[in-house]
Amino acid sequence: MRLQYSLALVAATTMIPGAALATNGYFAHGYGTINKGMAGAGVALSQDSIASATNPAGMAFVGNRIDGGLEVFSPRRQYEVEGDVLPQPAFSLQPGTYDSSRNGFVIPHLGFNRQLNENHALGLSVFANGGMNTSYPGTNGGPFYGGHTGVDLKQVFIAPTWSWEFTDNQAFGISPLFAYQQFEAKGLGAFSNFSSDPAAVTNNGTDDAWGYGFQVGWQGQITDTLRGGVSWRNILHMNEFDKYRGLFAEQGDFDIPQMFKAGIAWSGLQDHWFLLDLQHIRYSEIDSVGNPLLPNLQTAQLGDDDGAGFGWDDMTVFKLGWQWQQTPEHAWRAGVSYGENPISDEDVLFNILAPGVQEWHLTGGFTHHLAADLQLSGMVFYSPAKEVSGPNPLSPNQTIALEMYQFGASASVGWTF
């Protein structure tokens, strides 16, 4: 009980006033200000105590330090409907362009690492992401004729980490992961008739769930100028959202997908690092996320094991980062990443709620030493507008277009001891 209370306190602290990231699907493009300044590249090069979010083995190389920071994040989302409204049984939407009104969020991150001896270190990283976060007005009845409509998903990860430098410049790390998430849905009453539990589809307030899993990784020197790293995280098995067991497949199940990362970092040019990472996210393995709307809505009820979901495909992201140590006290960073969005044009209807369509991220950042043991880091990013359009599967005469662009900035302080 005491452990659960402590974890809940950490989770609540991290989720205030709310995490909402919809970048690579619903995962952030990176974790920690330094990592995000290089578009999330860093599997092979770790520089702060948020490193276990990317690769737990990297904590073996960051030394004794504490990091904390805040990100200001602004996703701008809208959907557009073209085509006439047809009578039932067609499920037509009201034509027009509609914007989500929730455009600003603040997301904290925290980290701690301590060397136990020359070869072993213990640390803790706390980081957050989300993505299914929209709020559409009740204009013309709302998107699905249920008035004010939207969903809100918040997630926080607590990662205690043990890292072991088992030989010179070669390390292994493991992080037991504790995950906590909250979800709320509004305005989805029109889907109750399709549900195995009509009372557990919408407007039931916030539900929460705990879950667990682990992440392991390797990081090390390959040559004098080349580092490598790999990391794998298993599916995080979460408790069900009981209040929404009639919405999500498998009676409210919303596990967090497994993820694989690999990267290299090259320092062959003096004072410069060039990083290349690959990240693969297995959304299709989570039925509530990966199941398509059709034909599942015709062959099973919402909430059933084969119930309809958001139809997200697996996602592979390529990240390129650069760091220039201009002086011993100051470093500059830049990065770019690309991953094909997980939403196909056949699944635009349900994804009005979760338009995670972003593909490109452009980033920049810096670190400045305020003192020998104190660093200030900053980061900005921009994700250009991306649109996905397709037919309304329940009223094929209509076309639905989803669009989003994003920008954000973060700052953090690192203290070495």
C-alpha neighbours within 13 Å on the C-beta side of residue 250: 14
Contact 114, 121 (CB under 8 A): yes
Which pLDDT does position 11 carry in this prediction?
47
Which pLDDT does position 22 carry in this prediction?
61
Locate the domains of the chain by residue range: 2-416
The whole model's pTM is what?
Answer: 0.93
Positions in the chain whose pLDDT score sits under 70 = 1-22, 130-132
Please state, in angstroms and rounded to a whole number, the distance separating the CA atoms of residues 83 and 399.
7
44 bridge partner residues: none
Which pLDDT does position 321 carry in this prediction?
98
Give, for 389, the enclosing helix (H) or strand (E): strand 374-392
What contacts 228, CB < 8 A, 6 or more positions away?
44, 218, 219, 220, 222, 262, 263, 264, 265
Which pLDDT does position 347 carry in this prediction?
96
* CATH-assigned architecture of domain 2-416: Beta Barrel (2.40)
Please state, in angstroms and rounded to a whole number, the distance separating the CA atoms of residues 242 and 263.
39
Which pLDDT does position 130 carry in this prediction?
58
Which pLDDT does position 3 carry in this prediction?
45
Contact 85, 41 (CB under 8 A): no
pLDDT digits (tens, 9 = 90+) for 132-182: 689 999 988 999 999 999 999 999 999 999 999 999 999 999 999 999 999
pLDDT digits (tens, 9 = 90+) for 63-112: 999 999 999 999 999 999 999 999 988 999 999 999 998 788 889 999 99
Which pLDDT does position 133 carry in this prediction?
81
Which pLDDT does position 6 carry in this prediction?
44
